[in-house]
Amino acid sequence: MTEVVRRVRVRCGLSRSSPRPWGVALPPVAFVALFILYPLALVLQQSCGYADVFTSEGFRHALWTTVWLALASTVGCLALGFALALVIAFVPFPGAKAVARFIDVYLSFPSFLITLALLFIYGTTGIVGSFQFLTTPWGVLLAEVTYFTPFVMRPLLAAFSQLDTAQLEAASSLGARAPRIVRRIVLPEALPALAAGGSLVLVLSLNEFGIVLFTGAKGVTTLPMLVYSKAILESDYPGACVVAVVNVLVSVGLYGLYRVVSRRAGA
Amino acid sequence: MNSGIRFDSVTVAYDGNVVLDALDLTVEPGEVMALLGPSGSGKTTALRAVAGFVRPVSGRVFLGGRDVTDLPPYRRGVGMVVQQYALFPHMRVEENVAFGLKAQKVAKGEIRGRVAQALDMTGMAAYARRHPRELSGGQQQRVAIARALAIRPGVLLLDEPLSALDARLRSGMLAELARLHRELPDVSILYVTHDQVEALTLADRIAVMDSARLRAYGTPRELYRSPSDEFTASFVGNANLLPVTVGEEGVFFGGRRIKVSGQAPGAADTLCVRPHLVGLGDGPNQLEGRVSEVQWRGATHRLYVDVDGHRVMADVRELKDPPSHGDAVTLHFAPDDAVLLAAGGSHD
């Protein structure tokens, strides 16, 4: 295999010893630098010297709200996604395939669509009545769990379809009931998929904007909302840049932490 | 001990497609019964009905005299070993073996001893701390057997347990299984296989399955020496099946009169002779033909001889000077060694 790779590299002039690799690598590197790194650097530069944003009450509140909402959404999605994926994969019912396919489609929906639907049900003029909770962080949490759960289910369903049913049958014939089989056989096998889905949800919900905007949650200000209001409503671009940089750092930091933890857990 | 299995007219169907048709079969306590048949014959379905993974549409399954038809798998207490081992990959060998004991709430202090005992029995004690991926196929299968035996089942279900192993390992494992059964004489074993050698070697009785039905059953010797139909004759051991006519004057094969010792079962139309009972040269029941193929198999030569358009196989001791393609040869077989098979029993 590696021999094949080496030969292809040599033939294409990509060998390590070849003098030409830079000629091939330069265009994509230049593209990345020009269109991604340069704007990021500008944001970083703009944010320098505006440390007073950190001391404001609004910023600290937004930071806290962002982090706990993202963590809670991730936990909620993992729990709900695992339960739903278990049912779809292992409980034979008519239409299980159709449900699994619908999840693929669901992933392509825009996030505000779910929020809009929730407004119709729970909103002030909704079907169920005027629960006020949609405008609270709990409403945002509900919407995020609803929207992001399929992102966990997708990798889980793929993992479950790979699971050897003979293992489940062996466990069953050895005297294990369903809860023990799920806990001792299915869950350990699903850990990598849970890690993949969970990290995706964590990053997406940290940076979620549409759902928070659409719930009209005045009391819920997350970092992306803060960036938006500072930049667009208050024209405070340096302030917005500071918050944006913090948002990026929190995203990368939490994601890194999550990977370390899930790797420790054997995923 | 809930030893012994009884199938009472067990029928299994998927979407109206009958995969097991009214199976009546009893496996005595301590008996090894081989279910022998080609794929799709219903043998695995029968085993899964005992384990509780398929639900019969009619009929009952008994384990040790107890009707278990409506019991879920986890309450049947049968040991099961499958072709691909189905070990739990993230657990060490000892955890795999302990799994059933924990599930059945065996006292903690007792588990360690029983795991050690099961691993000793299968010769895997030295591998207790390994993970399944660190073991060879044969070792994994030993662990799977230890795991099934640890719960001390009255019935052990083996579903093609040796099919994933190479030939040399297979004969070693066959001897191991025979030894295990001697050590556990009360355990009934249902052994599903498509390999006649495994069935002949290990089984006290063989049940031959074909097209969802039980074709024949009996001791390996009975089925081999006097098969009841063509399918059984060709599936248990090799067989020359020659079309014959049976009348007042005797048995005829292509105009030759054939002497047969046994009685013809009603309207017989096929003669079965095992290839190793066919000799080369003059003798009783001579057949003249031309050699169409010669295979050297070390200790024996297998000759394919064309006799009036019918292919006759003869396994003879290694020849110093074997005939070659196209040579005229004479074959013979003793009247004792030929069996007449009932008409209409053909598999097609």
Chain A residue with Cα closest to B158: A170
Domain boundaries, chain B: 5-230, 238-342
- CA nearest A177 in B: which residue? B74
**Of the candidates A167, A177, A185, which has its C-beta nearest B74's C-beta?**
A177
Can you give the C-alpha Rg of chain A in angstroms?
23
Residue of A173, A185, A186 best to disrupt the B interface, most CBs of B under 10 A: A173
pLDDT in tens, B236-253: 888 999 999 888 788 889
A266 pLDDT more than 80: no
CA distance B204 to chain A (A): 25
Instruction: Find the mean pLDDT for residues B280-299.
Output: 92
Contact B3, B154 (CB under 8 A): yes
Model pLDDT, residue A12:
53
Dump pLDDT digits (tens) for B8-17: 999 999 988 9
How far apart CA A98 and CA A101 sit, in angstroms, is 5
**Helix (H, G, I), strand (E, B), or coil: what is residue A191?**
helix
Q: What is the pLDDT of residue A59?
A: 84
Other beta carbons within 10 Å of A212: 27
Residues belonging to chain B:
348
Query: For B99, which of A166, A171, A189 is closest by C-beta distance?
Result: A171
**Which of A109-113, A133-137, B37-41, B223-227 is predicted least confidently?**
A133-137
pLDDT at A51 (0 to 100): 67
pLDDT at B266 over 80: no
Question: In chain A, pLDDT over 90 holds for what percent of residues?
Answer: 22
Here the tokens at position A205 are 């919900």
Q: Is A168 within 8 Å of A179 (Cβ atoms)?
A: no
Express as a percent the part of chain B with pLDDT over 90: 75
Alpha-carbon distance of B120 to B124, in angstroms, equals 6
Distance CA B31, CA B93 (A): 29
Rounded Cα gap, residues A254 and B104, in angstroms:
41
Cβ proximity of B60 and B223 under 8 Å: no
CB contact under 8 A, B90 and A266: yes
Helices (H) and strands (E) in chain A, counts: 14, 0
N residues, chain A: 267
**Measured CA distances, B263 to B266, B268, B275, B298, B309 (Å):** 9, 10, 21, 36, 27
pLDDT per residue as tens digits for the range B40-73: 899 999 999 999 999 999 999 999 989 999 999 9
Encoding tokens for residue A165? Answer: 């049913």
pLDDT at B97: 96
* CB–CB contact A172 B72 (8 Å): yes
Please give the Cα distance from B240 to B227 (Å, whole number): 12
What ipTM describes this predicted complex?
A: 0.85
What's this model's pTM, rounded to 2 decimal places? 0.80
CB neighbours of A81 closer than 8 A, spacing ≥ 6? A149, A150, A151, A152, A153, A156, A197
CB contact under 8 A, A184 and B104: no
Query: Which class would CATH give A59-264?
Result: mainly alpha
Chain B residues lying within 8 Å of A94, measured CB to CB? none
Residues of chain B contacting A, Cβ within 8 Å: 51-53, 72-80, 82, 84, 86-90, 99-100, 103-104, 144, 147-148, 151, 157
B80 with A169: Cβ contact below 8 A: yes
Nearest Cα neighbor of A254 from A72, A123, A109, A115 is A72
H/E stretch holding B224 reads helix B220-225
- For B238-342, CATH gives 2.40.50.100
Of A154-163, B58-67, B243-252, B286-295, give the lowest mean pLDDT range: B243-252
Judged by CB atoms closer than 8 Å, whether chains meet at A170 and B53 is answered as no
Domain boundaries, chain A: 2-44, 59-264
CB contacts, 8 Å: A266 with chain B: 90
Phi and psi for A30 in degrees, rounded to 5? -65, -40
B51, B77, B103 ranked by CB distance to A180: nearest: B103
Residue A122 to residue A80: CA distance in whole angstroms: 20
The CATH number that domain B5-230 falls under is 3.40.50.300
One-letter amino acid of A168: L
Alpha helices by DSSP H, listed for B29-166, are 43-51, 93-103, 108-121, 137-150
